[in-house]
């Protein structure tokens, strides 16, 4: 299992589905199981949840920075 690729796929799915975003925030394990169809062992689940959260946060920060940059363009 390529965890990095899985995380990227999961992030894209979560970003495109508001209901899934809410589920991930309230029940990350359930959301991941729904997305992957796999019930991961706790240590793998924690790693994937952390990776998804980090990627979502990084993407949101990047989008915010781009938005700020657009404020100063003429």
Task: Please say if the pLDDT value at position 52 is more than 80.
Answer: yes
d(CA 41, CA 33): 11
Residue range 32-45: mean pLDDT, rounded: 81
Range in 17-21, 31-35, 62-66 with the lowest mean pLDDT: 62-66
Q: With pLDDT > 90 as the criterion, what percentage of the chain qualifies?
A: 0
- Residue whose token pair is 């991941």: 32
Burial of 8 (0-12, 13-18, 19+ CB in 10 A): middle
Q: 20 near 35, Cβ under 8 Å?
A: yes
């Amino acid at each position: 299992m390529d965890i990095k690729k899985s995380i990227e796929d999961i992030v894209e799915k979560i970003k495109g589905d508001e209901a899934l975003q809410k589920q991930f925030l309230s029940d990350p394990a359930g959301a991941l199981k729904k997305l992957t169809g796999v019930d991961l062992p706790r240590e793998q689940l924690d790693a994937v949840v952390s990776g998804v959260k980090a990627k979502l946060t990084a993407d949101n920060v990047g989008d915010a920075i781009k938005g700020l940059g657009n404020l100063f363009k003429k």
